[in-house]
């Protein structure tokens, strides 16, 4: 019987950035889990034990999140995709399943377009694909409101108020009381 509670925590360097990751379980089939913005690999804690019964589950903190290194500057989705690709290669888990949530789903979708050789398949939950609805006049007020909130949050990040920016994002973009 597999030891489903086996966890291997490590720091790896990909693309010049130290990334914190954990490998759970000993299954043959790997699945990498990509968290959304403002979160960390712990975002997956409620599902990892069950997945680790059948898979080798890789959770990691994206650059600038959790215990991973925080390079200066905003960062980009392209860097996140390159980091995920390099992490999959570094761990030798290709082809892997990759599951992403929120902005992590956008990273997952972009990886599928750029590096399908690394993948068995993907799962994406609620990717923020605003450009797909940009021309819909009924959604314009919602998109404008989100753009305004995002600009305010970015200003707070630039000023160094990371905690305030996170709170504002959660309260205004995800809903009051979240």
Q: Is residue 69 part of a domain?
A: yes
pLDDT of 74 reads 67
Q: Provide the residue range defining the domain that includes 147.
A: 132-178
Please list, in sequence order, all residues whose beta carbon lies within 8 angstroms of the beta carbon of residue 36, skipping any fewer than 6 positions away: 43, 100, 101, 102, 103, 104, 105
Same domain, 63 and 33: yes
Same domain, 119 and 140: no
To the nearest 10°, report the CA torsion of 66, 72, 76, 80.
-40
pLDDT of 11 reads 96
Same domain, 92 and 164: no
Task: Quote the pTM value.
Answer: 0.82
How far is Cα 123 from Cα 81, in angstroms, rounded to an integer?
15
Alpha carbon of 15 to those of 21, 50, 78, 85: distances in Å? 15, 31, 12, 10
pLDDT of 118 reads 98
Q: Encode pLDDT of 99-131 as tens digits.
A: 999 999 999 999 999 999 999 999 999 888 877
Q: Strand, coil or helix: what is 14?
A: strand
Q: Closest by alpha carbon to 90, among 32, 156, 152?
A: 32
């Amino acid at each position: 019987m597999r030891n489903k509670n086996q966890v291997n925590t490590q720091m790896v360097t990909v693309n010049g950035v130290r990334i914190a990751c954990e490998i759970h379980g000993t299954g043959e089939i790997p699945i990498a889990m990509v968290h959304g913005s403002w979160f960390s690999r712990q975002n997956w804690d409620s599902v990892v034990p069950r997945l680790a019964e059948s898979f080798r589950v890789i959770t990691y903190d994206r650059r600038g999140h959790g215990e991973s290194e925080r390079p200066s500057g905003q960062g980009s989705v392209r860097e996140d995709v390159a980091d995920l690709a390099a992490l999959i290669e570094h761990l030798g888990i290709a082809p892997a399943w990759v599951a992403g949530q929120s902005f992590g789903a956008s990273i997952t979708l972009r990886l599928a377009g750029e590096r399908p050789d690394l993948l068995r398949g993907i799962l994406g939950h609620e990717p923020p694909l605003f450009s797909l609805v940009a021309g819909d006049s009924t959604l314009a007020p919602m998109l404008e409101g989100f753009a305004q909130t995002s600009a305010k949050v970015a200003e707070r990040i630039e000023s160094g108020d990371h905690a305030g920016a996170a709170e504002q994002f959660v309260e205004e973009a995800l809903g009051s009381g979240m």
